[in-house]
Amino acid sequence: MEIDDAASALAAIGQSTRLELLRALLNAGPSGLAAGEIAAQLGVPSSTLSFHLKALDQAGLIVATRQGTKLIYAPKIDRLRALFAFVSETCCGGEPSLCGDLGRLTVNEGKVRMPPANFTVLFLCTRNSARSIMAEAILNKLAPGKFTAFSAGSEPAVEGPMPEVLSQLKALGHDVSTLRSKGWEEFTRPDSPKMDFVITLCDMLAGQVCPDFGETMTITTAAWPMPDPAKFAGSAVERATMLNELYAGLRRRLDIFSNLPVTTLDRMALKARVDELADPHAAALR
């Protein structure tokens, strides 16, 4: 970051309402807030809020994306980290380790050293008995500390997850003790964990319909259509082969997903990258 760029960004937040606005967005995290929610929190008229949002947007400190009829504003974490790193990089004569906690913000070999964020992901399918259960288990094992995965269904299976799926997951070293079939309504309650990503796995080509979270405040939503194991036919060996292929397809996608630079991509770029993973050929080539 150049000094003029840093000065411009600092000038943009050098006003009490804008600083309060930025703090509110940082508190909300990458999921962001709708303009109406920001106005209510800050107690400012919409016209005044628009003026301050525009100033922060022009300084590259926030990004806006449309969800339905709403504009959702979120902080550009990478930009803010770069700004704070620029301000503190000369700390203690270039030895940031002497500066205590401030040294965590400094740049090391071009990267800002910050504790990793933890993002929540909700996988949805119809019965929450196979595909979404697999995805929940895979991601929780692939990226603990960075992602926490959940799953649900529009018509959850009363009998619970498919025994074949649980057996396969257990054989592959996954913890299956907490896996259960549940309705998506569990994640729409006021006390439910806030989801950063909502990914549907329903086979839309087969006419399956997944629950619609609508304008739920997430970083992004995506659809990765996958075949329903409940419809797999054939011998036990053939069914096991199809389950293995389903697991492998999810594992490839989630391996790529778990390594996406979530905090350094804006919402539109991140959505494009997550949407790409719906294509099994694209996922196989990465």
**Average pLDDT for residues 63-67, to the nearest whole number?**
74
Rounded to 10 deg, the angle between the 35-42 and 16-28 helix axes is 120
Q: Which domains does the chain have, with CATH numbers?
A: 3-112 (1.10.10.10), 119-285 (3.40.50.2300)
With vertex at residue 61, the alpha carbon angle to CA 194 and CA 268, rounded to the nearest 5 degrees, is: 60
- Judge whether residue 2 has pLDDT over 90: no
Rounded CA separation 91/152 (Å): 48
Average pLDDT over residues 225-232: 86
pTM of the model: 0.61
Tens digits of residue pLDDT in 231-273 = 888 888 888 899 999 999 999 999 999 988 887 777 778 888 9
The enclosing H or E element of 273 equals: helix 267-276
180 token code pair? 């259960």
**Is the pLDDT at 282 greater than 70, yes or no?**
no
Span 112-122, average pLDDT:
66
| Position 112 confidence tier, pLDDT thresholds 50, 70, 90 | very low
pLDDT at 129 over 50: yes
Sign, CA torsion 109/110/115/117: negative
What pLDDT does residue 115 have? Answer: 44
Task: Give 84-135 as a DSSP string.
Answer: HHHHHTTHHHH-GGGGGGGGGGSEETTEE--PPP-EEEEEEESSSSSHHHHH
Task: Compute how many other C-beta atoms are within 10 angstroms of the C-beta atom of residue 250.
Answer: 23
Alpha-carbon span 283 to 253, nearest angstrom: 6
